[in-house]
Amino acid sequence: MALAPRERFVRNTNGKRMFVADWGDPHHPRPPILGLPGYSRNAKDFRHLAERLAPRRLVSLDYRGRGRSEYEHDWRAYDPQTLLDDVRHVLIALGLHKVVVVGTSLGGILAMGLAVAAPTALAGVVLNDVGPMVEPAGADYLLDYMGRDRPQNNWNGAIAELRRLLPDLSLHTDDAWRAFAENTFRQGDDGMLHIDWDPAIVKPLTDDTAPAQDLWPLFGALRPIPVLVMRGGKSAVLSADTLAAMQTRHPAMTALTLDGVGHAPTLDEPEARGALDDFLIAH
């Protein structure tokens, strides 16, 4: 039987409700794990990890405009800095004083932000296929993917669309693709399946008036913190050169490249499981 989370809702600074999934034992002696999903993803991506690591506590959230969290009227409220504030708000609301962050894509960038904004809250950080440099071609592809709804008549159509758009995901069974589709689409009032996020979330990233940000100082803040980096060998987001530069700046970090895997690893790959287990046992 699937492990059911405790379902919580936390108000963000705009008064909108954010959904938080809270799995495992709140009194477990090890630091809780904070699962931070990718830019358009949601807490359901961490269900398999929560089930595997139980009874250790794992908390994840749907960022504003994603999943079961409320959408914003003004796209400017989707700025990543605002999302970082939301994460800090969730930590405070749930009384999480020390966590190990597992951050996928944007979630990893937010983990770097926490290293600046709340460094004492971090017992360790896992960066899943992300670093302080994002490959432009990969970013452009993902922005196009995330910025458009693509309604589907049924789950078979949704799965076929995802297989076409994301062929390098490490999903090898029909059941795995179905689960991924169910974490990506939701049924609308029209009976069609729609993406489970507000397409406007990409607008802060495509706003030409926004100043470009150098993420290397954020990564530098991780230097005193234990770090594990997972990179997909076919990643369009995190290059081998960037990973090598990260290792130069943080010599103590552990890095693993998953051959044949695109953006982003599910963390359910056998090699990823082993590395993640070793890291979490130690932190």
- Is 1's pLDDT higher than 60? no
Model's pTM, two decimal places? 0.96
Sign of the CA dihedral 160, 163, 166, 169?
A: positive
Tell whether 1 is covered by a domain: no
DSSP character for 75?
Answer: G
Using CA atoms, how far residue 14 sits from 7, 20, 123, 199, in Å, is 20, 17, 29, 19
pLDDT digits (tens, 9 = 90+) for 117-160: 999 999 999 999 999 999 999 999 999 999 999 999 999 999 99
The residue ranking higher by pLDDT, 52 or 210, is: 52
- Is 207's pLDDT higher than 90? no
- Is 237's pLDDT higher than 70? yes
Q: How far apart are CA 154 and CA 228, in angstroms?
A: 38
- pLDDT at position 197 is 97
Q: Side-chain half-sphere of 207: how many Cα atoms within 13 Å? A: 17
Q: How far apart are CA 170 and CA 251, in angstroms?
A: 28
- Is 252's pLDDT higher than 70? yes
- Identify the CATH number of the domain in which residue 230 sits: 3.40.50.1820
Q: How far apart are CA 228 and CA 248, in angstroms?
A: 14
- Is 213's pLDDT higher than 90? no
- pLDDT at position 2 is 66
- Is 212's pLDDT higher than 80? no
Tell whether 45 is covered by a domain: yes
Confidence of residue 14 (pLDDT cuts 50, 70, 90): confident
Mean pLDDT, rounded, for 89-113: 97
- Is 49's pLDDT higher than 80? yes
- Whether 219 contacts 131, CB under 8 Å: yes
Place of tokens 């998953």: 258
Tell whether 217 is covered by a domain: yes
Residue 31: give the domain boundaries: 6-282
Number of domains within the chain: 1
pLDDT digits (tens, 9 = 90+) for 152-203: 999 999 999 999 999 999 999 999 999 999 999 999 999 999 999 999 999 9
Tell whether 277 is covered by a domain: yes
Give the tokens for residue 141. 């592809």
